[in-house]
Structure 1
Amino acid sequence: MSFDVFVQDLPLDTRTVAEIPDDFAPQPIGRRADIVAGILRAVPATNFADPTWGVIDGPGFSIEVNIGPAEVLDSFAFHVRGAEEARFVIADILRELRLRALAPGTDSGFFEPSELGAAYTAWQAYRRQVVGGAPDAEPGAAPDTAR
């Protein structure tokens, strides 16, 4: 079970998801090749052996990057397991790509590294309740099969 962060075109001038205008129509975020190149600039060790599914292994964490097969992307997702330090890796990638992301459990609804600690802690407690206290998968372990 992973903590998920969803990247898409989001208004830059809103502080919370509730402030997104009802008539806002997200645009494509870019070509898959450009998104992958940006991720690799931010985190050169990202493994894109599968060009639709990148993997970043860090000290105590693993991030799967689900970008899918489309040539032009409307969105993609990060699936995080392990230490909450992964938030800084995601922040670096988003900064490089000049994109924003949604993060369930944050006060604003947006991915903000300063807010993510509390959201991640709450998610870990929920996960322990659902899966009976199973720890996060160790980095390098086989990913969840439910994608």
Structure 2
Amino acid sequence: MSWDVLLLHLPDDITSAQDIPDDYAPRPLGRLHEVLATVSRAEPEADLSDPTWGDLTGPTWSIELNIGSEDPVDSIMLHIRGSGDDVLASVFRLADAFGCKVLDCPSGDLITPEGPSGWHAFQEFRGRVVGGG
């Protein structure tokens, strides 16, 4: 089980997935080789040996980066597992590197470094499921 967030370009007035027009096509994050270079600059510890499916590991968490094989790359899905708020720093470092927004897929809301995210709710839910509470 993972907490999934999507990195993509969205207009400034979008605050949730519900606000995205049906015909909206995001501006690409870049060509595949540029995206890989940007990820490497933002998170030098990222393992991009498989350029379509990267991996980033922190002390108590991991992020799988679903980059895909499309060129150009429109978005990156982050599958986040583990615990610890420091994972959010990596999420927003990647978003900043691409100049894009972060969509919390379970809630459908955009998240920012200053605001709440679904990360805490995901950890609480995961704890109830794993711990049986």
Worse overlay, 97-106 or 57-66:
97-106
For 1:44 and 1:111, how far apart are their aligned partners in 2? 24
Residue segments in structure 2 that go unaligned for 5+ positions in a row: none
Give the % identical residues.
Answer: 35
Residue segments in structure 1 that go unaligned for 5+ positions in a row: 135-147
**Contact 1:10–1:101 (CA<8 Å) still a contact in 2?**
no
The Cα of 1:92 is off from its aligned counterpart by 0.8
TM-superposition CA deviations, 1:28-70 (whole Å, max 9, x none): 3321111111111111111111111111111211111110112
Partner of 2:27: helix, strand, or coil? Answer: coil
For 1:21 and 1:102, how far apart are their aligned partners in 2? 15
Give yes or no for the alignment of 1:74 onto 2:74. yes
What is the aligned-residue RMSD (CA, Å)?
A: 2.2
For 2:125 and 2:103, how far apart are their aligned partners in 1? 19
How many equivalent residue pairs? Answer: 130
TM-score, normalised to structure 2, is 0.82
For 2:75 and 2:94, how far apart are their aligned partners in 1? 14
Aligned residue identity for 1:42? A
Which stretches of structure 1, 4 residues or longer, exceed 2 Å deviation after superposition?
12-29, 125-130
The Cα of 1:23 is off from its aligned counterpart by 4.9
Q: Which residue of 2 aligns with 1:49?
A: 49
For 2:123 and 2:27, how far apart are their aligned partners in 1? 32
